[in-house]
Structure 1
Amino acid sequence: MTAIAMPEQTPRMERKALDGAPPSPDVAQAFEEFSRNFAAYQEANDARLRSLEKRAGDVLLEEKLARIDAALDESRRRHDRAALDSARPMLGAAAEGADPLERQHKSAFAAYVRSGEAAGLKQLETRALSAGSGPDGGYLAPVEVERDVLGRLAALSPIRSVASVRMISSGTYRKAFSTTGPAVGWVAETAARPQTDAPVLAELNFPAMELYAQPAATQTLLDDAIVDIDRWIAEEVEQAFAEQESAAFVNGDGVARPRGFLNSPKVANASWAWGSLGFVATGAAGAFAASDPSDALVDLVYALKAGYRQNAAFVMNRKTQSLIRKFKASDGSYLWAPPATAGGAASLLGFPLVEAEDMPDVAADSFSVAFGDFRRGYLVVDRAGVRVLRDPYSAKPYVLFYTTKRVGGGVQDYDAIKLLKFAA
């Protein structure tokens, strides 16, 4: 295998806890189990490689490696889940010191959710000149609930966690950009300054689409005064919202949902032009090249301009990651590295690795690996306001809560993301 050239700068990969507090016992325990499994994985893979070098592949070694690989993935999932649970913001903690109007809104919202009494919310929204009403799609949830739902989504949604996020108050966010830039040049101190060409401007549009979830509750649960309604709603909708968002940010077609970055036009990186994403081929259809397979990853890294590499990350799904986890550099070190600390991120070639299950599996002509500065490359727009409509009629004896938020997304810098195509 050829030597692997490491990037000039290694990004910081450790993710700190919200308050700088040490990891919880569950996170630490999951991280310790993951570290043990990874050590066993390295030992088994090294034995497999030695067996292959002797041209006598051991079937038992292959089976052992597959079992450890599955255990490694499972322990990684448990570690990630424990880290996410500890990173989630706690609901209800800010109620005591909240603005009086916010406390009044929270109280009126709780009455509406528990009993359907909407008079308090109608009065508040009329006073605030809000268009929100039952027929218009429900009532605005308290600001605290909206903030914490978005905070939880940031922890659960892999693309949202690395992309730029902007809050908007209108239905569409419009962003102007220059397609050519102004004409510039060198000139002597006393020479004439010819007029430069004006920059050519174009506009990117990011419409906010409606995303909904519909959790159900029994009236007994709603009548229980000790139940925190804000927490219950946030926990019920977070997973549904995160799954739908993640799929749309990767593969969405832009019709009634955000446009995913893989839905952009794609061209070979040598022919790249604005409006498309450049790709690098692996050299083999539906696989990495048989000789020096990791070279394609190095080519992908250096297809990205230096200004973007500093904050870049790899994005792929679990199956693709399991293939890359076996790659080694010429000095015998693994290119994939486990998290350095509990709650941290795995890395590949020194860059953080984001696991997004909506990325395609490796297949002929698939774009299964993305690399780039997603903070500059992809934009998520959230329209302010999470709405809840109480429905006690459609699924008696259960009460449904039709909960909606508006979110959009799309590529904002086509030069900031590159793809790996599994093709010759």
Structure 2
Amino acid sequence: MHFAAAAKAALEKRAGLINELRSVEADTTLSEAEKRERVERIDVDVRALEAEARESVERAEREAEVRSLAERAGGLVLPGPSGFRAGERDEAAELRAVARGELPGVDFDLRTATTGTAANAGNTKPVTFVAQVIEAMRERSPFLNRTRILTTGGGETMEWPVKNGRPTAAQVAENTAYGKSDGSWTKTNIGAYKYGVLLEATQEIVDDSALDILGILAQDAGEAVADKVVADLLVGDGSSKPWGWITRAAAGKTVANTAALTGDAVIDLQHSLLSPYRRNAVFMMNDSTLAVVRKLKDSTGNYLWQPSLQAGAPDMLLGTPVLTDPNVAPIGAGAKAIAYGDPSKYLTRQVKNLRVVRSDEYGFDRDVVAFKVTWRGSGDLFDTASVKTLVTTAA
């Protein structure tokens, strides 16, 4: 009998003895000596059953702990090349195992990836697959890394609160009721949409361990997936796709055309956003708009643009980081040409982790193996006051 079942059976027997014990104590036909004798005998059996149940439970717990340890041990990667510590995951070895057919597929956690340099086919420097995918995605748009990322175990539709307004306070006189002021809240439904790409590699590339197949796949996969995912997270219309950060943003400043896009207009946009949101805010625009903004000067003839002097650090505009993305609309009629806000108020929901699966059958006749890279998720803005846009009414 299983330990848990044995513990349950012992406890059920104990419960029966407890009922019998109560019956003995309530029996008026028995003398006190007879009651004491029976109670003592039953009590011995009760204690024995308690000990049996306790021992079974402890054994069941130890068994469960051993199973858990076995599962955890099964997820560990065997020691790889020198430089990998015990227990450290060797993602390169895992993907090579997938390529050789030793594993059907692997999951890579986007949240634990470290930045790496994307490599080309001739690079043999060992870097992690996930790091290269993330690097490619970051190169396409640094916006994704600044959003709030929520990883869920399933892709069911998720309700999320959206803050549309703030409560207001007022002075309250002595012995006077407080005025009621509710914040404005609504809800949004965040689903999960699947994004993916299928990559092919010849068997010769797979078999050649000196060739950085990870660099090839990671660069191509990261760029392909990021191009589509980030586009929807920025400008998606919510119809079978996420609601975009810029799509949800309200206008903070409107100008007529390129000539009206002045330094003062950018300052007006910045101050259309409440000061608490300005602490983590960024400017976002495409490169054609950036070319106009970089030429803006203040009243003394100094450029508002402040180029970064440190590698990896963003350029600055009015003391605020500037991000560029090709999905932001260029200056034109009704275009949201510049966004200014806090990306952390945007929720990026991803389902599980980035998944890579290998198939031998897909290109069997051409001696080609295929790698399928999949990302599932969605997103929406959960604080509508956290981002504003500069809108142009003409080109």
The bucket for the TM-score relative to the shorter chain is 0.5 to 0.7
- Unaligned 5+ segments in structure 1 are 1-91, 122-138, 265-275
Structure 1: which amino acid aligns with 2:254?
Answer: A
1: CA distance between counterparts of 2:381 and 2:154? 19
1: CA distance between counterparts of 2:179 and 2:305? 52
The structural deviation recorded for 1:373 is 1.4
Which position in structure 2 is the counterpart of 1:209?
193
1: CA distance between counterparts of 2:372 and 2:268? 47
SS of alignment partner, residue 392 of structure 1: strand
Which position in structure 2 is the counterpart of 1:97?
85
Q: 1:173·1:381 contact (CA, 8 Å) conserved in 2?
A: no
Structure with larger RCO (C-alpha < 8 A, sep 6+): 1
1:343–1:198: structure 2 CA closer, same or farther, 3 Å change rule?
closer
Residues 1:258 and 2:242 aligned together: yes
1: CA distance between counterparts of 2:97 and 2:202? 15
Moved over 4 A (4+): 92-95, 105-109, 142-147, 177-189, 192-201, 227-232
Residues 1:349 and 2:334 aligned together: no
Residues 1:281 and 2:254 aligned together: yes
Q: 1:234 aligns with which of 209, 218, 221?
A: 218
Which position in structure 2 is the counterpart of 1:140?
106
SS of alignment partner, residue 384 of structure 2: coil
Q: 2:165·2:385 contact (CA, 8 Å) conserved in 1?
A: no
Which position in structure 2 is the counterpart of 1:415?
385
Q: 2:164·2:383 contact (CA, 8 Å) conserved in 1?
A: no
2: CA distance between counterparts of 1:174 and 1:197? 24
Residues 1:368 and 2:337 aligned together: yes
Which position in structure 1 is the counterpart of 2:353?
385
TM-score by length of 1: 0.60
Which position in structure 2 is the counterpart of 1:401?
371
SS of alignment partner, residue 205 of structure 2: helix
Larger Rg: 2
Q: 1:140·1:385 contact (CA, 8 Å) conserved in 2?
A: no
The Cα offsets for residues 197-229 of structure 1, whole Å up to 9 and x where unpaired, read as: 877753223222111011110101111234466
The Cα offsets for residues 52-72 of structure 1, whole Å up to 9 and x where unpaired, read as: xxxxxxxxxxxxxxxxxxxxx
Q: 1:219·1:399 contact (CA, 8 Å) conserved in 2?
A: yes
2: CA distance between counterparts of 1:93 and 1:314? 43
Which position in structure 2 is the counterpart of 1:29?
none
SS of alignment partner, residue 215 of structure 1: strand
1:156-235 map, 5 Å: 156-171=140-155, 172-177=157-162, 186-187=171-172, 191=175, 201-227=185-211, 232-235=216-219
The Cα offsets for residues 362-392 of structure 1, whole Å up to 9 and x where unpaired, read as: 112211111111222x222222222233233
Q: 1:314·1:370 contact (CA, 8 Å) conserved in 2?
A: yes
Higher mean C-alpha deviation, range 387-396 or range 226-235: 226-235
Q: 1:158·1:246 contact (CA, 8 Å) conserved in 2?
A: no
The structural deviation recorded for 1:280 is 1.4
Please, what is the CA RMSD of the aligned residues? 3.3
The structural deviation recorded for 1:279 is 3.4
Structure 1: which amino acid aligns with 2:159?
Answer: R
1: CA distance between counterparts of 2:294 and 2:179? 55
TM-score by length of 2: 0.64
Q: 1:387·1:403 contact (CA, 8 Å) conserved in 2?
A: yes
The structural deviation recorded for 1:312 is 1.4
